[in-house]
Amino acid sequence: MDALHWVTSPSVTEPPQEIYCQTRDIVQAKVESVRMNLLQHGWDESTSSLIVAVLGELTSNAFDHNLGQWPDVPGCWFETTIDPHRFVAIIADRGQGVRSSLQRVRPGINDHEALRIAFTEHITGRAPEKRGNGLKFVINALREFPKTNLTFQSGDALLSFHGQMNPEDATLEIINVQTSLRGVVSKIELTQL
């Protein structure tokens, strides 16, 4: 089973045990252990910290925006691959999704608009709390890498952010896809020289 199958599956199943994080505590511990793993694979301290911070934002969101209202399986999918020059993380949840959570502050938006707002505006589904920085931080952090690739799907909107060598050339685009999903599936792929 991969993350996309898990999130779109009509039957309610938990992800494989080594990938499933039912609570925030569990995922926080796993995110923290990524730091050690990166260092052991030769990634430097500041890069490792940046990756850990990015993973912290994406995994926090799964819990922050679904508190007490998980439709079925609570928690998130958290899967990483760590090599000396390549890092991959897949984070997914079967929660309410971005459109539904932003609906409260922006009624009537569709999935496509919801992703654009979530990644570009300092606005939050938890207004009036002063928040809404996480995903903007993620994009800026990913600009630091010589080669970076992020995909993030919620509903029928799929955002991708690609960057190579020159941070100014990095592009963010959102398209509509055929298979809609309720929660979020995100994947980050980073390469260091």
Identify which of residues 19 and 43 has a Cβ nearer to ligand ATP in the complex: 19
Q: Does 61 bind ligand ATP (CB under 6 A)?
A: yes
Work out which of 135, 139, 174, 181 binds ligand ATP, going by CB under 6 A.
135
Q: What is the dihedral of CA 173, 8, 94, 53, to 10 degrees?
A: -40
Q: Does 134 bind Mg ion (CB under 5 A)?
A: yes
Asked whether 111 and 154 are in contact (CB, 8 A), the reply is yes
Identify which of residues 95 and 163 has a Cβ nearer to ligand ATP in the complex: 95
DSSP letter string, 87-103: EEEEEEE-SS-HHHHHT
Work out which of 36, 131, 176, 179 binds ligand ATP, going by CB under 6 A.
131
| Burial of 123 (C-beta count, 10 Å sphere; 0-12/13-18/19+) | middle
List the single partner that 98 binds among Mg ion, ligand ATP, none, CB under 5 to 8 Å by kind. Answer: ligand ATP
DSSP letter string, 120-161: HS---TTTTSS---HHHHHHHHHTTSSEEEEEEEEEEEEEEE
Asked whether 148 and 50 are in contact (CB, 8 A), the reply is no
Instruction: Give percent helix, percent strand, percent coil of the chain, each to the nearest 5.
Output: 35, 30, 35
List the single partner that 62 binds among Mg ion, ligand ATP, none, CB under 5 to 8 Å by kind. Answer: ligand ATP
Work out which of 48, 59, 61, 80 binds Mg ion, going by CB under 5 A.
61
Work out which of 15, 125, 155, 163 binds ligand ATP, going by CB under 6 A.
125
Q: How far is the CB of 95 from ligand ATP (least distance, A)?
A: 5
Q: Does 102 bind ligand ATP (CB under 6 A)?
A: yes
Report the interface residues with ligand ATP, using CB under 6 A.
Answer: 57, 61-62, 64-65, 93, 95-98, 101-102, 118, 124-126, 131-136, 184
